[in-house]
């Protein structure tokens, strides 16, 4: 609760800051503060409701303990259980928000589905997973952009990369990462034998815009020299050429086209910012590649988080040992039962680790 109260205090501070005229006139600053406020306000609103319900509950308990009026006692007796249940729900929601706050703020993900072991049958299964996740997004009001799609000869999917956007979208898809296994008789199987194939899924938060912050005095070494070369007396003799060196990355930029040292410096800094942006984007993409490798496993049939068994009309999530005997419903994008239990398990594990 101390952490929650700190968040509420910060939320109130942000609200006051955004109302200040000097802040309100700065569009970029307002946008940044509003984004932080939006996330913290979710906790603050829960906390205020929790305090309100707690006060109502305490009042009812006080009436039960000290009030002699039978009608008041009867009213308090009737409303106390509902208030206790509501208070518990709000407390649970607060706990959940505290341990998933950062992930809850992710509004865009990259979801990748790749066919694993099983050839054409694996590609057909991967296509069904793509359809399943697209249908789920439609049910939840998320938007889906197909960024890349590599199809197989039989209409399956070798690889699909989707961008899915929506409020708290990462919380909805994060448990889908890993190996998915299907057991059924393929359309190409003449003998009617059950085959096992696999596909892998990766769920990655989409990198946000890289915010480049440079302390030009501490982070960058500036070299000033005469421009040299043709251009007349001023170009040759006045120290107008600028060379910037970013200490941390080693990136350098030289600018000597303008006669003005000030103009050369301004241009060099613009180029430096652009190059650093690209540099940090490459670093982020490399980290995503590493996250992806650890997330999807080998793609082998034995590496799985969930099995889709067609002959038994069964879907099994092996992490929580839960079966759903309605495979068409799951493939139609209704797998909330799995997600609810996975989410609760994750919440308890995180709370235990605090």
Give per-residue pLDDT as tens, 258-315: 677 788 888 788 778 877 877 876 777 677 666 666 665 555 555 689 999 999 999 9
Q: Could you give the CA distance from residue 44 to residue 53 in angstroms, rounded to a whole number?
A: 14
291 in a domain, yes or no?
no
List 324's β-bridge partners, or say none.
315
Q: Looking at residue 253, which CATH number applies to its domain? A: 3.30.160.20
- N-term to C-term CA, the chain: 13
Looking only at the bridges linking them, the beta strands covering 157-165 and 241-246 are unpaired
Q: Are residues 198 and 306 in the same domain?
A: yes
Q: Which of 80, 104, 128 marks a domain boundary? A: 104
188 in a domain, yes or no?
yes
- 316: its two tokens: 């099994």
Q: Are residues 26 and 93 in the same domain?
A: yes
Q: Tell me phi and psi for residue 217, to 5 degrees.
A: -85, -35
Q: Are residues 47 and 154 in the same domain?
A: no
Q: Are residues 197 and 128 in the same domain?
A: yes
Q: Are residues 306 and 199 in the same domain?
A: yes
With a pLDDT cut of 70, the percent of the chain lying above it is 87
Give the predicted TM-score (pTM) of the model. Answer: 0.64
- 36: its two tokens: 């932080």
Which DSSP symbol is given to 319? T
The pLDDT of 65-78, averaged and rounded, is 82
| Number of neighbouring beta carbons within 10 Å of residue 144 | 18
Q: Are residues 187 and 321 in the same domain?
A: yes
Query: pLDDT tens digits, residue range 180-229?
Result: 999 998 776 666 788 899 999 988 887 565 567 788 888 888 888 876 54
- Please name which of 102, 93, 116, 91 lies closest in space to residue 39, comparing C-alpha atoms: 102
Q: Which of 86, 104, 122 marks a domain boundary? A: 104
137 in a domain, yes or no?
yes
290 in a domain, yes or no?
no
280 in a domain, yes or no?
yes
Looking only at the bridges linking them, the beta strands covering 314-317 and 322-324 are antiparallel
Residue 59 CB contacts under 8 Å (≥ 6 apart), including other chains:
none
Domain assignment of residue 11, given as a range: 2-104
- Domain count for the chain: 3
Residue 137: pLDDT above 90?
A: yes
Tell me the pLDDT band of 128, cut-offs 50, 70 and 90: very high
Residue 90 CB contacts under 8 Å (≥ 6 apart), including other chains:
46, 49, 50, 53
Query: pLDDT tens digits, residue range 74-87?
Result: 888 888 888 888 88
Identify which has the larger pLDDT, 294 or 42: 42
pLDDT at 327: 96
Q: Are residues 95 and 117 in the same domain?
A: no
- Find out whether 123 and 153 touch, Cβ atoms under 8 Å: no
Q: Which of 104, 125, 160 marks a domain boundary? A: 104
Lowest mean per-residue pLDDT among 23-32, 76-85, 117-126, 263-272: 23-32
Q: Are residues 100 and 6 in the same domain?
A: yes
130 in a domain, yes or no?
yes
Q: Are residues 335 and 194 in the same domain?
A: yes
- Find out whether 212 and 276 touch, Cβ atoms under 8 Å: yes
- 135: its two tokens: 């249908």
Q: Buried b / exposed e across 202-212, counting CB within 10 Å, b at 16+?
A: bbbbbeeeeee
pLDDT at 234: 47
Identify which has the larger pLDDT, 243 or 271: 243
Q: Are residues 36 and 183 in the same domain?
A: no
Q: Are residues 100 and 114 in the same domain?
A: no
Q: Are residues 306 and 200 in the same domain?
A: yes
Residue 71: pLDDT above 90?
A: no
Q: Tell me phi and psi for residue 208, to 5 degrees.
A: -80, 170
Q: Could you give the CA distance from residue 272 to residue 115 in angstroms, rounded to a whole number?
A: 41
List 178's β-bridge partners, or say none.
201
- 290: its two tokens: 């590493």
- 309: its two tokens: 């068994």
């Amino acid at each position: 609760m101390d952490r929650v109260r700190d968040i509420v205090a910060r939320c109130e501070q942000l609200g006051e800051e955004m109302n200040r005229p000097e802040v309100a006139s700065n569009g970029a600053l307002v946008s940044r503060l509003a984004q932080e406020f939006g996330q913290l306000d979710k906790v603050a609103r829960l906390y205020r409701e929790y305090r309100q319900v707690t006060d109502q509950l305490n009042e009812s308990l006080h009436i039960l303990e000290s009030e002699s009026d039978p009608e008041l006692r009867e009213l308090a007796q009737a409303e106390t259980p509902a208030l206790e249940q509501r208070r518990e729900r709000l407390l649970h929601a607060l706990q959940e928000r505290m341990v998933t706050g950062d992930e809850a703020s992710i509004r865009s993900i990259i979801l990748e589905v790749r066919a694993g072991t099983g050839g054409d049958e694996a590609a057909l299964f991967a296509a069904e997973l793509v359809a399943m996740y697209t249908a789920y997004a439609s049910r939840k009001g998320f938007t889906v952009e197909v960024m890349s799609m590599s199809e197989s000869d039989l209409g399956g999917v070798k690889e699909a990369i989707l961008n899915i956007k929506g409020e708290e979208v990462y919380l909805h898809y994060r448990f889908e990462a890993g190996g998915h296994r299907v057991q059924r008789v393929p359309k190409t199987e003449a003998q009617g034998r059950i085959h096992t194939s696999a596909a892998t899924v990766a769920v990655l938060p989409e990198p946000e815009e890289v915010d480049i912050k440079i302390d030009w005095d501490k982070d960058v070494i500036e070299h000033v020299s005469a421009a040299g070369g043709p251009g007349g007396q001023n170009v040759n003799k006045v120290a107008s050429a600028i060379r910037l060196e970013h200490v941390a990355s080693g990136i350098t930029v030289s600018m000597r086209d303008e006669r003005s040292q000030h103009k050369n410096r301004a241009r060099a800094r613009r180029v430096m910012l652009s190059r650093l942006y690209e540099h940090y984007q490459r670093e982020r993409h490399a980290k995503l590649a590493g996250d992806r490798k650890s997330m999807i496993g080998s793609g082998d049939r034995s590496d799985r988080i969930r099995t889709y068994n067609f002959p038994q009309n069964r879907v099994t999530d092996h992490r929580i040992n839960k079966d759903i005997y309605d495979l068409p419903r799951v493939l139609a994008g209704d797998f909330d039962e799995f997600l609810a239990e996975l989410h609760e398990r994750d919440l308890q594990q995180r709370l235990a680790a605090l």
